[in-house]
Structures are given as structure tokens and as C-alpha cells.
Amino acid sequence: MHFAWIFALVNLLFVPAFGTTVIRDAEVIVEKAGVPGRPVSVKLPFNWDTAQGGVDGKARVLIRFPADDPHAPLGILFSRLGNAYEVRLNGVLLGAKGSGNDSHEDYSKQPQFFKVPEGVLQEKNELSILVHAQGGRRAGVSIPVIGPAEEVHRQYEDAYRWRVSGFLALSIVSAVLGGIALLLWLRQREPLYVYYGVGEILWAVLVSDTLAERTLLPWPWWGIVVFSAYALAAALISKFSLIFVDRHAGPMKTFGDWHAWLTIPAVAASFLLRMPALLSVWLGITLLVCIGTALIAVVEGIRSRELEKRVLAVAVIATCIAATRDMLYFRVFPGFGGVPWVRYAWVAFGVTLAWTIAERLRKSAQAIASMNQDLAHRLAEGEAKLAATYAAQAETQRNQAIIEERQRLTRDMHDGLGSQLLGALQLSQNPEIARDVITAHLREALDHLKLTVDAMQDIEGDIASLLGALRYRLSERLDAAGIRLAWSVDPLPAVGGWTLQQSRDLQMILFEAFSNLLAHSGASNASLRAEYLGSEHAIRVQLSDDGKGFNPASQDGPGGHGLSNMRSRSARLGAALDIQSSPTGTSVNLLLPLPPV
């Protein structure tokens, strides 16, 4: 009683609209092997395979109905009709498709609409449908919907959308998803993707069968292809689901593997031996595989905190419910003409795959971001350690360089200052040398000592400070000589990498120039000008006086070896030294280039 109620519910695919009727009572005359039988009263829908088994034949279905208004436009709708058919109303042909002799033809897949011509409809009418049936090809006659042509045609459009347009979209989606999964498998070689990809491609073959009224292969070979695709797609998606929930092992895996390997032989045997019951049994086993997979997926989905496993569980449950309905409708009961629910429920697996890919991409992105963050942290720590090590090494090298430069300065002081003191000592031992000469030698030695001490201080490239110290050391001697010094030093940039030796060289160049000025120029006025030349990225130091001048070309001029020492020190600094002298004065120009920024 409960099964009958369920069957009546699912059998009402097309709910009759206002003004339309469905007719279930009919007579059927079956013709097998060219011999017609006696008329038999039946309840529509009429399913040839359920009634006659896997044999070929013909059936004439007679439907009688009255018409309240014989002049009203009338429409007739069959959700399925065929394999080949001929429809007549009161002896007038309404439509026909196929001859019944071509095993490539199957016109029972799509809904058919017939509009009754004027003058054909009577108060009492007989609708005659001649069906050419091929055994096992699901031939028959669905429940007709009869009523106003406009309203019935609207129902026909709805049925066409569900059975044709919808299946076209489903087949495209399955083919695309299958192709994407196979591409992922080619790149990653993960079994999860190959099972899903092949399963979706097989499902696309099954669903697209509704769209073709002429098949690529003759019957029953095309039936073997279609139903094998159905069972194998279910088997492969079950394996996909088991791998997805990490349960692709044990009895369920073994049972699923045997089912997959035996599917094609079992389906082929059911068609070639004309045993529709064997196909029903095998599809029932396929359903058991799906139900077993569903139970495992549901249990794992409940246990797992991963949302994608719960999405899969919902997809498997929905598909199993739809497949159970279809099994009951098409195989247990003589259902004919309904839309297979499982074809639409199957989309849930596509949602699962899309969700899975999105989740994996999200997790991969998070993992990469975390790795990048960790790498950046480690890199920053490494850079900090490296910078500290480099700074320590640089400080060590700097201190070592300072020590070495101070040692050189000490040697320089020993050689220079020592020779000056020795000379002063020798002069003091000569009673004929004036006291002033000895005093001048000692004063020069003292200035030399002070400048040497100044040079040993690290000025960190501050040329202005070095010049200031030089002015301070020589100011008393300039005043004593009656020479007025005009001092002009602009703000000067610090010289990068400046060393103590460079300070010493610059000091001694200027000290030699001042010594010549004090000892030999006879000048009363002098000026020192220091400025930064931005166009040349250099510092220029110019010392001028109004003395009597000398010949700069002479290497043994007034200062003895002073000029040659000045030039050698300038070369060591990488600076350009230019000395201009005339009877009206002397100008010493030093151009010190700065390191590139």
C-alpha cells in the first residue's frame, strides 16, 4: 500500500494544469513475431520491457476520451513515446517518427507534443499509438496529457527544459568538470582526480544520450555503452568518495573493485542474452555500492571537522536518495516517462570537487603565506646576525687600521720630528748660530708634533674640523710673523671612509704650504678658502698670500723637499695640487675628490 502511494506520487511528473486531463485507461494490442495478440486493458504508462521482456515487437495502444467542445483547439503531450511511433486521432495522422527497422533510431527520449487539426476532434474520440519497440531499449507510451493546446504546449516546454535543455547543460558541466579533474591528475598524479575525471566523462556520455535520436552504435551495442557508463561512473565516484574520506581500503574497496571490473561483462550479458532482469539486478548492486559508500562518507563526515568531507557526505546522500527513487520508479514499478532525478543530483559531486579545489587552494595559499612569513622571519634574523657580524668585523678592521695608521704616524713623527730635533741639537752646539734660528727650529718641531697628535684623532671625514685644528696650531706663529689670515670655510660634507693617514697627508700638505708662507714669502696678508664644488663632487682648499713668490717648477725651492713631499702626498690622496706663484703672491690650490655616493 505504501509502495503504491509512493509510485503514484513520483509518477505524476506533469501535474495537470487547469483544463487539462491525464488518461490512464487504455487498451493494448501487442504484436510479436508478426502475430498480433488480443486487446488487453492496461493502466498507463505502458512499459514494453516490463510487459514483454527483452524481445522486439509492436504495440498498438488505444485511448478513448470524450470532448466537451469538439471545436476547441486541443493539444496532446507525451513525456515519452517510442522507440518509433505513429500517432493517429480518429484515423487522422498527427505525427510519426522512425520506421522501426533501423536499430540506430530511438525517438523515445524526448517529450512529444501534437496539436489536433480542426475538424478532427469529435465528441467521442479514439487516440491510436503504434509503437515499434526494441527489446531492452525502454520503449513504451507515457501517460498522455490532453487539454487546451496553449496550456498543454506550456507543459511541453517545461518538460523539454527538464529532459532536453537541462540534460544538455548537465552533460556539458560533467564533461568540463571531468576534463578539469583529468588535467589536475596529469599535473599531480593523484588518484582522487583520475577517478573523478573518468567518472564525470562517463556520466556525460550517459546524460548526453537523451539528446541524440540517432545513436552512434546500433542497438543493443549502444545500450551496453550507456548502461556500462552509468554503472562505471557510479563505481568510480564511489572510489573517489572513499579516497576523499581516507577509507579506500578494506571490504568496501574490494567489493567496489569487483563491481567495477564485472560491470561491462554483466551489462553486455543482460543485453546480448535479452535478460532485462539481469540488468536490473546489476543496477541494484551498483546502488548497494553507492549506499555503502554513502554510509562511510556520512560517518567520516560526522567525525571529521573538515567541511569538505561534510559536503561530500551531503552529495553522496542526495545522489543515493535520487538513485533509489529512480531504481524504484524505472525498475521495480512500471514507470515510464519520468525524469531521472539522479542526473540532477549528480551535480552535487561537481560542487564537492569545486569546493575541494577551492579549499586546497586556500590551504595551500595559507601554507605558502605561513612559509613565506617564517622564511622572512628567518631571513631577517639571518640578516641581523650577518649585519652584526659584518659590523663587528668592520669595527675590528677599522680599529686595526687605526692602530696601523697610528704606527705609521709614529714612524713619520720619529723620522720627521726626530730629524728636526737632531738638527736643532746640532745648531745649539754651534756657538756661531743665533739663538733665534735655534728657536725657530724648535718651534717648527713643536708645531709638527702638535699636528701629528691632531692627526692621530679620528675626525671621521670632517675636513672642516681638521682645518680648524690646523688654524689653531699655527695662529700664534702667523701672529708672531705679522701675517693677517682671512679664514673662510663653508659647510663641507663628510668624506666617507676617511682614514688617519689621509688626515695626516692633508695636514702636512697645508702645513708645508704655511711653513713656506711663514719662512720665505715675506707676505703680510694671507687667506684660506675651503668650499664644496657640487658640479665636481669635490672639496677645494685654496691658500693665497701677497708675498714675493717663487718658482713652483723648482723641485728644490725654498722648502727644500717640501714641494715634492706636497705632490707625493696629494697623489696619495688622489687630489689635484696646483701651485701658482708670481712676484705679487702665491696661490696653492688643492682639489680633493669625494667618494661616489
Output the domain CATH number for residue 588.
3.30.565.10
Q: Are residues 93 and 128 in the same domain?
A: yes
In sequence order, what are the residues at sequence separation of 6 or more whose Cβ sits closer than 8 angstroms to the Cβ of residue 80?
Answer: 45, 108, 109, 110, 111, 138, 140, 141, 142, 336, 337
The CA distance from 182 to 195, in Å, is 9
Q: Are residues 175 and 153 in the same domain?
A: no
pTM: 0.61
Question: What pLDDT does residue 155 have?
Answer: 93
Residue 381 resides in a domain:
no
Q: Are residues 77 and 117 in the same domain?
A: yes
Residue 355 resides in a domain:
yes
Boundary (domain end) residue, out of 342, 359, 376: 359
Q: Are residues 151 and 163 in the same domain?
A: no
- C-alpha pair distances (Å), 281 with each of 139, 231, 325, 330, 385: 20, 12, 15, 13, 74
**Of residues 480, 265, 240, the one with CA closest to residue 356:** 240
525-533 and 484-489: which strand pairing? parallel
Residue type at 203? W
The CA distance from 357 to 190, in Å, is 13
Residue 372 resides in a domain:
no
Residue 519 resides in a domain:
yes
Signed CA dihedral, 253, 255, 261, 264: sign only: negative
**Which three-class secondary structure state does DSSP give residue 299?**
helix
Q: Are residues 163 and 153 in the same domain?
A: no
Residue 450 resides in a domain:
no
C-alpha cell at 300: 567520516
Question: What pLDDT does residue 457 have?
Answer: 60
The CA distance from 209 to 145, in Å, is 25
Q: Are residues 62 and 110 in the same domain?
A: yes
H-state helical runs in 481-555: 500-516
Residue 431 resides in a domain:
no
Question: What pLDDT does residue 450 have?
Answer: 59
Locate the DSSP E strands across 424-545. 484-489, 525-533, 538-545
Boundary (domain end) residue, out of 96, 123, 157: 157
Q: Which helix (H) or strand (E) holds 416?
A: helix 347-428
What residue numbers bound the domain in which 329 lies?
Answer: 158-359
Angle (CA) 443 447 451, round 5°: 170
Residue 285 resides in a domain:
yes
Specify whether the CB–CB gap between 126 and 118 falls below 8 A.
Answer: no
Place of cell 640578516: 383
Question: What pLDDT does residue 451 have?
Answer: 60
Q: Are residues 476 and 575 in the same domain?
A: yes
The CA distance from 66 to 88, in Å, is 16
The CA distance from 246 to 242, in Å, is 6
Specify whether the CB–CB gap between 88 and 128 falls below 8 A.
Answer: yes
Q: Are residues 304 and 240 in the same domain?
A: yes
Q: Phi first, then psi: what are they for 342, rounded to 5°?
A: -65, -25
Residue 504 resides in a domain:
yes
The domain spanning residue 59 has which CATH number? 2.60.120.260
Q: Are residues 525 and 550 in the same domain?
A: yes
The CA distance from 523 to 586, in Å, is 9
Q: What is the pLDDT along the chain (597 residues), one digit of tens a residue?
A: 333 334 444 444 444 555 688 899 999 999 887 788 889 999 999 988 888 877 889 999 999 999 888 888 999 999 999 899 999 999 999 999 998 888 999 999 899 999 999 989 999 999 999 999 998 888 999 999 999 999 999 999 999 999 899 999 999 999 999 999 999 899 888 898 999 999 999 999 999 998 888 999 999 999 999 999 999 999 999 998 888 888 888 888 899 999 999 999 999 999 888 888 888 899 889 989 988 888 888 888 888 878 888 888 888 888 888 888 888 887 777 677 788 888 888 888 888 888 877 777 787 788 888 888 888 888 888 888 888 888 888 777 777 766 766 666 565 655 455 555 655 555 566 676 666 666 665 666 666 665 665 555 656 778 888 888 888 878 887 888 888 999 999 999 988 888 877 888 888 888 888 888 887 888 899 999 999 998 889 999 999 999 888 887 764 444 446 788 888 889 988 999 999 988 889 999 999 998 886
The CA distance from 322 to 238, in Å, is 15
Q: Are residues 343 and 225 in the same domain?
A: yes
Q: Are residues 170 and 31 in the same domain?
A: no
Q: Which helix (H) or strand (E) holds 146?
A: strand 145-148
Q: How many domains does the chain have?
A: 3
Place of cell 540534460: 167
Boundary (domain end) residue, out of 359, 387, 419: 359
Could you say which DSSP state residue 308 is in? Answer: H
The CA distance from 543 to 581, in Å, is 12
Residue type at 499? T
Question: What pLDDT does residue 77 have?
Answer: 95
Q: Are residues 222 and 346 in the same domain?
A: yes
Torsion over CA of 177, 183, 187 and 188, rounded to 10 degrees? Answer: 30
